[in-house]
Structure 1
Amino acid sequence: MVIRKVETDKKQYLDLLLLADEQEDMIDRYLERGTMYVLEDDGVKAECVVTDEGDGILELKNIAVEPDFQGRGYGKALVDFLIRTYRGQYTVLQVGTGDSPATIPFYQSCGFRRHHLVKNFFTDHYDHPIYECGIPLVDMVYLQREI
């Protein structure tokens, strides 16, 4: 398993990015200003994008694992990599995600704790309803962990 930084042509991973954020214009808001990593294990299995949000906060804007390889530790490996890579440069790793039982437990298993809620985020910022496991997403939950 190798994790490498992607410096150019980040959109070549658009299909994977869209697994975690299904509206391309939302991805466009952070992709070029963010730092992207891909995890390869006999091919690309996962990716993530992080951004500097100021005040010592590094935000995980997008993390996705190929569907056939979910549940095998690739997502956690990326989070662990980010913590090791950015320790000493940032104090907090933050992630915003839908308030869904499909994603919150993953982040909690990686040491994240609920921080705050942004009401109506998905209805206010996306041009169509967003669903996760058949549940409509409305609010964005921010979780944080120390680095």
Structure 2
Amino acid sequence: MIKRLSNDESLPWHLLLEADPEKELVEEYLSESIILGYQSKILNRITGVLVLKKQQLDLYEIMNVSVDEVEQGRGIGTLLIKNALAAVSNETEGNCRVQVKTGDTSKPALALYKKNGFEIKEVVENYFIENYSEPIFEEGVLLKNQVILEKMV
């Protein structure tokens, strides 16, 4: 079940920081965002999270998506994305862009976004090296470049 979470309640920080390891950055965008959580009936806790932020009148950005490792591969990421796209569609009159940014080594994330209709618009070279205080490694590979994907809603 997908539900909106508020900053007042206990947020799934282990998931939020899995998707974005800079806690200060996450705290900055949470207060201005829609936070969706997937409540697992089996585990009786939040096992998926998506953070959606309005950036401009016609642009929303998915800031953070993470699914607990034990629940991956069950369609929770897709369910969260579809709910986020529906939220954007309900709040706008159409012709709104939804953007998501991820690393070029994030193969599962890239596959998830492409499966849900997002297309690559831009690659920002050395983004993660220049903008994060500590190096980020994904499956032993240094994360360097950011991929920006977009979908019209």
TM-score norm. by structure 2 comes to 0.88
How far 1:70 moved relative to its partner?
0.6
1:29 match: secondary structure: helix
Post-superposition Cα deviations, 1:38-60, rounded to whole Å, max 9, x if no partner, equal: 11121212011111110411100
Aligned counterpart for 2:66 among listed residues 64, 67, 74: 64
Q: Tell me what 1:125 maps to.
A: 131
CA contact (8 A) 1:118 1:139 kept: yes
5+ long unaligned stretches in structure 1: none
Written as runs of structure 1 = structure 2, the 5 A alignment for 1:136-147 is: 136-147=142-153
1:50 match: secondary structure: strand
**RMSD value, Cα:** 1.5
Are the structure 2 counterparts of residues 136 and 30 from structure 1 closer, same or farther at C-alpha, using a change threshold of 3 Å? same
Q: Distance in 2 between matches of 1:97 and 1:11?
A: 25
Aligned residues: 146
Are the structure 2 counterparts of residues 56 and 17 from structure 1 closer, same or farther at C-alpha, using a change threshold of 3 Å? same
Sequence identity (%):
26
CA contact (8 A) 1:102 1:132 kept: no
CA contact (8 A) 2:3 2:38 kept: yes
5+ long unaligned stretches in structure 2: none
TM-score norm. by structure 1 comes to 0.91
Written as runs of structure 1 = structure 2, the 5 A alignment for 1:81-120 is: 81-87=83-89, 89=92, 91-100=96-105, 101-120=107-126
